[in-house]
Structure 1
Amino acid sequence: MSWIREGELSFWERLGVGVIRAGPMPRHIAFIMDGNRRFAEKQKVKKLEGHSQGFAKLTETLQWCLSLGIREVTVYAFSIENFKRSKEEVDGLMELARQKFTRLLEEQENLEKHGVCVRMLGDLTLLPQDIQQLIAKIELTTSRYNSCFLNICLAYTSREEISHAVQELAWGVEQGLLQPSDVSESLIDKCLYSCKSPHPDILIRTSGEVRLSDFLLWQTSHACLVFQPVLWPEYSFWNLWGAILRFQMNYNALQKARDMYMEERKWQQLENDKAQVTEKLKQEGSSPRDPQAWQMLLQDCRAKREERIQDFLQALERKRADFLEKLVSASA
């Protein structure tokens, strides 16, 4: 089955698109696609068939998002915790991933047509080698597309993601690319697996569960959280429509909270910069009384920090690219 469907919306769905697009629209929606196993039990079929039906629903949902003008979607495909499930189910899910990723690589023309960039978020080293290689090919093949973005969280938990970001920062300090004082909330954000994406506007979880299950904990602090009782394979356009309507009803409050947070972060960074300049002057045994001289020192401190950070982020990007390219080379 194609990852990107070309199906037409019904008359009522097209009408729904027109109505909902009159309000503020989310740029990025994240899904916890829960309920595949319960759907299988309900339909009296094997668990793997439930997961297969869940994938079919994902492709349909991506088409709805394209029709609504939503440029970015992130899905929770496989948690690190899922490795604790039975060997039969885990092996079945890995085989399903092989099939779907192979199919995705065969859809180069379709992906290029829609400009779909596919990113995999998670600890890929936990996956079988051949799946890692498929992922590397997908990421490198679609990296130049920028019309819309699909982020697939595989072998992922938010706590592991944050731990990994901290390890990357420690590596940066060890390599002399960063100073310990450069580490900040903003820089941690840039070291997450999701660093190339804006934070989600909406997080949707299906199946009636009302917990995040270690998914995008950092990124959803100001997102609209929507918990819906429908099982994922039974998800409909109107479920998505209702979630967006909920976002629109809460848009002003969400935007106000985000704006306040950004202002607080700017103020905190300014205070940190001032403290660093004061400490530097103290170490040098000087204390310029000229406000202009003080401002120049502050600007110099910021410029040097920004230069270090950019060098560090470029080094991280090269390290990631090298990892993917080595995987592709090993599969040749």
Structure 2
Amino acid sequence: MSDSLFVTVPEHVAIIMDGNGRWAKGRGLPRTMGHRKGVEAVRETVRTAGDIGIKYLTLFAFSSENWRRPEAEVTDLLGLLKAFIRRDLAELHRQNVRIRVIGDRQGLRSDILNLLIEAEETTRSNTALTLVIAFNYGSRDEIARAAASLAKDVEAGRLRAQDISPELINSRLDTAGIPDPDLIIRTSGEERLSNFLLWQAAYSEFIFLPEYWPDFSRDLFLSALEKYASRDRRFGGLSAKAAATGS
């Protein structure tokens, strides 16, 4: 599929990378092999996003609920994250990619936290694709932390409760300064957000793919973007066509 098919390239694409374990199970492999194959899909997805001019790519790397998985699997997932950053950080920096991490940082192991901070600081001035990594992230927790931040300001007299607006709440979220996702893609056939970007997804388009994440390829990404380009986004109002014709 040709990249030139797209008239509308979304500014921000977010992806729920689902199905690593089921991909491995279907091949008689341990779940860890699915996660390792999934990292290869991450690399190709980041390259594709940069090639076609997407400005923000958010990847749901590790949810706040993922800590409930078996300890060995959690350890492997954390090891893969560390390996990805250590191996790919220099290349991403050369490609002018900025890394930003969203999620709760309280209680993270120092080695993980320091690596995330290093990735952000190293790439802070880059101006091409912004790669947003959602790590230890849960949207309800994010919203609760934003509400608590505003409540503290009200309690301290720095803010009046009646002045709290959607824009002000948005400024306290982990994604402050990042535009809401135009498109959210989820692999593996599941059709739910699973506590991902609940506030930010108010007007996002959704595409659910049956393929598992390790099979997510450049062609699948481009096909999803082609579907997105055919959508008529109205944001609660009339489409441009309907507004022009009065229909």
Q: How does the TM-score come out when normalised to structure 2?
A: 0.91
Structure 1 residues 243-287: Cα deviation after superposition (integer angstroms, max 9, x where no partner): 11221221x3x2x22668xxxxxxxxxxxxxxxxxxxxxxxxxxx
5+ residue gaps, structure 1, are 1-12, 261-332
**Hey, what does 1:19 align to over in structure 2?**
5
Question: What residue number does 1:127 align with?
Answer: 108
Aligned-partner SS, 2:206: strand
Give the structure 2 partner of residue 204 of structure 1. 185
**C-alpha RMSD of the superposition:** 1.6
Identity %: 35
Say if 1:35 and 1:233, in contact at 8 Å, map to a contact too. Answer: yes
Q: 1:69 aligns with which of 53, 59, 68?
A: 53
Query: Which amino acid letter does the alignment assign opposite residue 99 of structure 2?
Result: V
Unaligned runs of 5+ in 2: 239-247
Give the number of the structure whose alpha-carbon radius of gyration is greater: 1
SS at match of 2:106: helix
Pairwise CA distance, 1:40: 1.0
The offset of 1:112, in angstroms, is 3.5
Q: Give 1:85-124 correspondences, 5 Å limit.
A: 85-105=69-89, 107=90, 110-124=91-105
Match of 1:238 in 2: 219
More helix by share: 1
Give the aligned residue type for 2:212.
L
Distance 2:142 2:53 in 1: 29
Match of 2:206 among 225, 228, 237: 225
Contact 1:104 1:138 in 2 (8 A): no
1:233-272 alignment runs, 5 A limit: 233-250=214-231, 252=232, 254=233, 256-257=234-235
- Tell me if the contact between 2:12 and 2:183 (Cα under 8 Å) persists in the aligned partners: yes
More deviation in 219-228 or 174-183? 174-183
Q: Is the 8 A contact 1:32 1:206 kept in 2?
A: yes
Aligned-partner residue type, residue 17 of structure 1:
D
Q: Deviations over 1:155-175 (max 9, x none)?
A: 111101100111111232344
TM-score using structure 1 length: 0.68
Distance 1:177 1:104 in 2: 42
**1:247/1:83 Cα in 2 relative to 1: closer, same or farther (>3 Å)?**
same
Q: Which amino acid aligns with 2:8?
A: P
The answer for the alignment partner of 1:56 in structure 2 is: 40
Residue 111 of structure 1 and its aligned partner are, at CA, apart by 3.1
